[in-house]
Chains A and B, each alone.
Chain A
Amino acid sequence: MSSIELYDILTIGGEDGDKDYTVANMVEHNHATYLYLIEVDKDENLIESNQLIVRRVLKDGEEAVEVVTDEKEKKDVARLFFELFKNEMNALENEEGETTNEN
């Protein structure tokens, strides 16, 4: 299984055919790896209306993702992702603040 890294673009075969998704975030929870995927177009622009939380799996020995459907699991993981994004935002704001102060 090859490694999946942040911001990789994955081509996933879904119900509506193949689509490209960027790995917006990754998190480990209960021994599993969850990916926060956002659809992207050919120019890699984000299509915000299509976002997925998936679990990394191996189906028949091949790389696959499983859409998280269990409500509790989804809530827990979404919360973790939210925290990660929030932290990232805070960090960005802090950096901006530092830059302003330096100026």
Chain B
Amino acid sequence: MEPKQIQYNDKIYNRNVVLLREKIRDFEEHVLNGTLQVASIHDFHRVYEEANAIHTEFEALYEGSPNQVYTSELNSYFAYEREFLNDFISFLEVFNRYHEVVEAKMISNAVIQQEWEDVVSIIRFNKIEKQLKELESLLFDENEEHEVISKFIANLNKDIEPFEDLSQEKWQNMVLIKAFQKLDDKLARIDAAKNGSEYFRLKDLYATLEKKMYESVFPRMKIKISNTNFWNKERYDSDKKLLGEVCKKITEKNHQVVVHSLSHILDAWEDPAYYTEQVKEILNQPVENQIDYKGMRTKEYQAERKKDILIDMDFYEQLTPSSKIMYLRFLLQNIINKKEEKEFKGFKLVKSRIDGKVWKYPRCYQPRFEKYRAMLLQLENAYEQDKVKEAEEEPVTAQDPVKKVEIDEVVTERYAELVVNLEEIKRAMFFLEEEAKSYLDKEKIQSFPMEDREAFVLESSYHRYQELYTKRKAIEDAIKEISMRNGYVFDDSDDKYYENIRFIKENEKDPERAKDQKVFWQKKLREAHQGKKNAKVANIKAALKIMEIPEKFQKEYTQIATDPQKFLKSKKYSDDTKRKGFGNLFSIFSNFTSKKSTNKELSKIVEDSNATILKSLAMLPVNETKVYKVFATKKVKDIGKMNERRIRMQENVRKVSGYAAMFCSLIIVELNVLNTIAPLVPRAKSSVSIEKTAEFEDASRDELKGGVKVDDILTAGIQSELWVDKLILFNKQNADWKMTTQKHFIDSQMVTSSYDSSAIGGTLSKEEAPTIEESMNPDEICLHGLVSIKPDALVYTVHGDSLRDVSPQAFIGDTSVLYEITGIQYENGVWISAEGNQSDAEAMFRAYNAQGVSIAEVRLVNPTTGEYAGHFTLDNLEQMNVRGRG
């Protein structure tokens, strides 16, 4: 169907303008109806030239425009044609750049034909999309006649016909490309206006699409690669809902064809195999149910996933190794996500490293997290073994045989060469930029705009820089192209496939469908594995070339780095040879990493390989005399037996851990200075602002036999000018151990040196333990603290009641220390000392000063909340009343 006729203005009407429009339309018609065929590189150049000639003519028309009014009229007149030309030329340009870089001999006619078909499909799709939009407006127009709409739909159906034969994947790709372009344009417009929430909403949508595009769509098109944005479920839901609303409105008017077409846009968001079926279901459902899909995408399911942080061992045991990995990662991720939940705000977070990245999660989950992490690490090590992979990749049906894909050495070599060239060009560009930096004369420096930044080079180097830039772009395109054609995978899309396999719901009514889905994702998974492997081989080769490793070693090193396990297990080489091989590679890759390549994919692959090589090195024995072979490994297959073993271990964990402590002759004394002091000052519990922990180890405490001399440890702690907060003690004879906290020391009157060792032998119950208030005189505690604590190691906390009793001598020489006074309360803006009024405190400090104690500054802390409440010096004591607020 023809685009809607535009009524042009007489002012712009002249023969040339009209003829040009006719020419563009004829050209489009030839593209779409197949009269313009491109089946060779020669055809391509011909069409490219022809399109460029028309484009030049078109631009000349604009350049000759006498004023803005005329330009805007031209814009209206050529609205449809301009869009077609721009799209068409941009696609051809991308291909042309690619052809220029990769020698023509590498481009087969079949490839050229495929490229052409892609372009034609997209152009056709553009047209349909415009018509759909028009149709939408017709449908919402109450005055539009039914007959007109029906005719429109009939024509639209004709245009859609060629797409009926297209595969789902192909169709999806085109929808995505278009959705991407559309959003890109819109975003660019809004970007300029920076329209708040709409901007961010679209930006997210764009990022999501961009990622999708990168994963699944033909990267020869206009693609900006970004790995920084990730799937945003909320945005996805909200956008899906919007599209769903459109469907709903149109459905109410019973135009099924439109619903069907728009559903494909929804379709683009989804996984193809899953969604093909889902669309059918949705179309058969009542309108109100169209948005909430059954199965894995429901809100209930998501909620269930969110709270899922406990491992279901029965379920876990039934999984294949790779699914186990996914399941564990899923649990770990959920624990990490917990910190975002309201109820965990303010919780202490602990760090843990997974995949080289540090993650934080609430401390209360530490045991669980570490357990899952240990299980994960162990599984992932195993996963590196081919056996596990093969088990996962086993085809479910005979119709889906696994083909061993040989790595194409010619392509790999070509890719590696391009990567090396790219590095060289980048270095040359960097050199020219650096050269310009040393010139102060701005007139000699010229700016060179690039997509992401502006470079500055010398005028004399400008053309050279431009050449390099063009070359760089061309090589980058070629690298992308080779990556795409050979299915190189650089991301972790295989993780997604694992997840999909893991979450396929077994449909009792239709087990065949579940099976099909599993086959589909397993195929994807295999492709991703192979793609990753191919990309790894090519990049390792490139890295070795960049590092100028002689040709004869390149092949061997590539093999070792690509499959270190194979080398490790090989019986052909001695352990010593293996050690040397890994050692050399490690040194090569470390040197490469230190050069800091700008090629992210290459750097990541080399870094990952180096980490694997380190692991492999650690797998080689060091002390041959202490190496024992493992003759057999008995695994438990049934859950009951596994639980039995686990429970047995748990029952003995106290004893076992005692032995673990003995292995390192361990007496662990955890020291936390402020935590120690804080409980001594009842009203200053929350004033802890600095944590200082340290370990105190002593291997020679044989006195522990038959009882624990805690006093000795305490004394040793004091001598180290640290206060013992927590002791972990164990009895060497029976390996039993106990953890004793500061509270126990106080309760057992250790602080006053009247500790009864029998109190530690058995843990004090709450009833037995006297409270601080009952048993201790706070003045004594503070005095004790003063003499035993190294002043410059901490912010000192003193109880106001006892301050006057403390010898000022203790402060002498510590002028740099900031002291906290917590015994002074802050109420309604007036400072009152614990006993009475502010003047007590002032007098106290004047007295210290008179005795030669130079206090630089006094800090005031609200003893109830622990908040900083203000500070003063001797010079501004008078201002205390007004400076009491922190």
Contact = CB atoms under 8 A, between A and B. Distances in A.
Interface in A59-97: 59-67, 69, 74-76, 78-79, 81-82, 84-92
Contacts of B571: 60-61
A58 B569 contact: yes
Given A10-B632, A74-B664, A64 B627 contact: yes
Contact of A26 (B378, B626, B630, B659): B378
Interface string A28-59: 10111100101000001110100101011111
A24 to B, nearest CB: 6
Contact of B570 (A6, A51, A61): A61
B615 interface: yes
Given A66-B623, A87-B366, A4 B633 contact: yes
Contact of B629 (A8, A62, A81): A62
Contacts of A102: none
B217 interface: no
Given A12-B631, A36-B660, A78-B660, A58 B618 contact: no
Contact of A5 (B378, B569, B614): B378
Chain B interface extent, by class? 35 or more
Given A1-B565, A10-B630, A91 B663 contact: no
A11 B631 contact: yes
Interface string B549-590: 000000000000000010011110011000000000000000
B137 interface: no
B27 to A, nearest CB: 62
B648 A67 contact: no
Contacts of A26: 374, 377-378
Contacts of A14: 628
Given A48-B655, A53-B663, A3 B619 contact: no
B440 interface: no
Nearest to A82: B660
A8 B635 contact: yes
Contacts of B628: 12-14, 64-67
Given A53-B663, A60-B575, A64-B621, A92 B630 contact: no
Given A7-B649, A8-B635, A44-B645, A87 B367 contact: yes
Among A48, A61, A82, A87: residue with most chain B CB under 10 A: A82
A9 B569 contact: no
Given A28-B377, A61-B569, A74-B663, A92 B621 contact: no
B666 to A, nearest CB: 7
B378 A6 contact: yes
Interface stretch (B45-53, B201-209, B379-387, B394-402): B379-387
A33 B321 CA distance: 18
Contacts of A75: 663-666
Contacts of B382: 1-4
B28 to A, nearest CB: 60
Contact of B618 (A32, A62, A74, A87): A32
A12 B385 contact: no
A38 B663 CA distance: 13
Interface string B489-502: 00000000000000
B619 A57 contact: yes
B629 A64 contact: yes
B587 to A, nearest CB: 16
Contacts of A51: 656, 659-660, 663
Interface string B631-669: 111111000001001101110111111011101111010
Contacts of A20: 634
Contact of B631 (A4, A18, A22): A18
A92 B626 contact: no
B635 A5 contact: yes
A63 B630 contact: yes
Contacts of B645: 7, 22, 44
B305 interface: no
B627 A59 contact: yes
B634 A9 contact: yes
A55 B615 CA distance: 12
B375 interface: yes
B662 to A, nearest CB: 8
A45 B648 CA distance: 8
Interface in B383-421: 385, 387-388
Given A11-B631, A59-B627, A88 B618 contact: no
Given A3-B388, A8-B633, A61 B568 contact: yes
B385 A8 contact: no
A3 B633 CA distance: 9
B79 interface: no
Contact of B627 (A3, A66, A89): A66
B617 interface: yes
A55 to B, nearest CB: 7
B133 to A, nearest CB: 56
Nearest to B642: A7
B622 interface: yes
Contact of B617 (A13, A31, A59, A81): A31
B631 A8 contact: no
B368 interface: yes
Contacts of A86: 657, 728, 739
B410 to A, nearest CB: 32
B516 interface: no
A65 to B, nearest CB: 6
A32 B659 contact: no
A3 B652 contact: no
A36 B649 CA distance: 12
Nearest to B615: A31
Contact of B666 (A56, A78, A91): A78
B634 A8 contact: yes
A64 B627 CA distance: 7
Given A4-B378, A58-B569, A85-B660, 10 more contacts: A2-B382, A4-B633, A10-B630, A48-B655, A48-B659, A53-B663, A56-B619, A63-B633, A66-B628, A90-B367
Interface of B: 321, 366-368, 370-371, 374-375, 377-379, 381-382, 385, 387-388, 565, 568-571, 574-575, 611, 614-615, 617-623, 626-636, 642, 645-646, 648-650, 652-657, 659-661, 663-666, 668, 728, 735, 739
28 contacts: A1-B382, A2-B385, A3-B379, A3-B388, A7-B636, A11-B632, A30-B618, A31-B614, A36-B656, A38-B656, A44-B645, A48-B655, A48-B735, A51-B656, A58-B620, A59-B575, A60-B574, A61-B569, A64-B629, A65-B630, A66-B621, A66-B627, A67-B628, A75-B665, A82-B657, A84-B370, A85-B653, A88-B653
Q: 10 shortest A-B CB distances, which residue pairs?
A: A3-B382, A85-B657, A32-B618, A91-B367, A78-B663, A75-B664, A78-B664, A9-B634, A87-B367, A7-B645
